[in-house]
Each structure stands twice: as structure tokens, then as C-alpha cells.
Amino acid sequence: MALFANGAHAPPRLLPYANRPAAAFATWAPELYLYYKEHVDGLFAEMPRLRRIFGGKSVFTCAAFNFGPRVCTQGHRDQLNLSFGWCGIQAIGRFDPRRGGHMVIDEIKKVIEFPAGSLLLIPSATLTHRNIPVREHEIRMSFTQYCAGGIFRFVDNGFRTEADLLAQDPAAHAEMMKEKKSRWQMGISLWSRLEDLVAEAAAE
């Protein structure tokens, strides 16, 4: 697996893959997308020495490639990602999606055909997900974009770690710890409902 947290410039053929998750994210969860964009833009404005992946063409801060050649994962949750956030997962390769490569999401009891070139956006920190193996003569790889929850906390704490916030401003740290109890409600409120998206599109 190759990991690009401060990534170099992407080859031109990869740029459409970098853009697709962000575009789909903005379409299906516009408020959550703006939450990401505000925090990520704020981080890089405050710390300009950091480099954005894909030359800033992605709202996510990290990308991971798994070259396989027959990528298969066990059920897992990406618990360091933003708990209510989404990550973009894309399948790449040459395989029959009717015979393998399906995405399995345990909590909602779904097995989803996941052809090469397709994209899923899921809250990977809270949903247990895995994929079914492809056949021995086939190739399946994956490309994922995501953002760690710690980045959002760092920005919300005035670009400080929780330890630094406690040392420098105990009152603000106490308030932040108190807000953690209801943070999940704020996060869920950023998700969109299909009827709201349809109504908004009809009004345009």
C-alpha cells in the first residue's frame, strides 16, 4: 500500500479519480462537504508548508492506493477517520463484478456490486465494511481518499492539540470536552436527506 498524506503531484490519468469523490461528496452531502472544506482550507491556510494531495484538487487530506493485485479486506472500521465523516472508495482493475469484488456493509446488511471504476462514499469510521475476493485470474485494486478526525479537532482547538489546549486554555479545553457528548448529533445534522436534495434540485 502506498500512502500519500502530503502527496506529490498526481499523474494526469489519476486526476479524474481525485476529483470524482469530491464532486460526488459535494452533490450528496453538501453541508458535510462544506464542513470538510472549511476545516481543510483552514488547516492549509494556517500551515502553508504542508502540501495538499493532487495539487489541492481533493477536499480530502489523505489518499491510499492498494495495488493488490487481488485486493481483499476483512471487515473493519477506520476508527481514526472523522466519526461522522465520509471516505471515498474506488475500485480499479479487470474483474467480473457479478462474481466478486462486492462491497459488504455489515450494519445495514448489504452486499453491493462494486465494478471497476465505480465509487462508494461511506462513513468508514462507523460502518463495518469489507469486500469479497475476485477470482484468481482477475485483478482488483483500490483507491481511497479520507481525512483523519484528529485534523478537525486540531483546527477546532485553534490549531492546537488537545494537550496544548489544556495547557494553554483550561477553560476552553473543559468546554471542548463537554461538547464532545453531543458532537455526534452535530455531525449527523450535516448529512443530507434524499427528499431535501431532490427539492433543492427542483428549485434550481
pLDDT of residue 53: 84
Query: DSSP secondary-structure letter at 61?
Result: S
| Per-residue confidence band for 99, with pLDDT thresholds at 50, 70 and 90 | very high
Q: For residue 204, is it within any domain? A: no
**More confident site: 20 or 48:** 48
CATH value at residue 71:
2.60.120.10
Q: Which amino acid appears at position 39 of this protein?
A: H
Query: In this predicted model, what pLDDT tens digit does every residue of 21-79 receive, in sequence order?
Result: 778 898 899 999 999 999 999 999 999 999 888 888 789 999 888 888 999 899 999 99
Query: In this predicted model, what pLDDT tens digit does every residue of 85-95 receive, in sequence order?
Result: 999 999 989 99
Domain total in the chain? 1
Q: How far is CA 72 from the centre of its chain?
A: 19
- Cis upstream peptide for 97 (omega within 30°): no
Sign of the torsion formed by the C-alpha atoms of 20, 110, 93 and 146 = positive
pLDDT at 6 over 50: no
pLDDT at 176 over 80: yes
Q: Which residues contact 16 (CB under 8 A, 6 or more apart)?
A: none
Q: For residue 85, is it within any domain? A: yes
Q: For residue 137, is it within any domain? A: yes
Q: What mean pLDDT comes out for the span 99-127?
A: 93
Q: What mean pLDDT comes out for the span 125-135?
A: 94
pLDDT at 174 over 80: yes
- At 117, list the grid cell: 471504476
Percent of the chain's residues with pLDDT above 70: 91
| Per-residue confidence band for 200, with pLDDT thresholds at 50, 70 and 90 | confident
| pLDDT, the chain, mean | 87
Domain extent, residue 22, equals 2-199
pLDDT at 124 over 90: yes
pLDDT at 15 over 60: no
- At 77, list the grid cell: 472500521
> CA-CA distances (angstroms) from residue 15 to 9, 32, 53, 115?
9, 22, 10, 19
- At 56, list the grid cell: 489541492
pTM equals 0.85
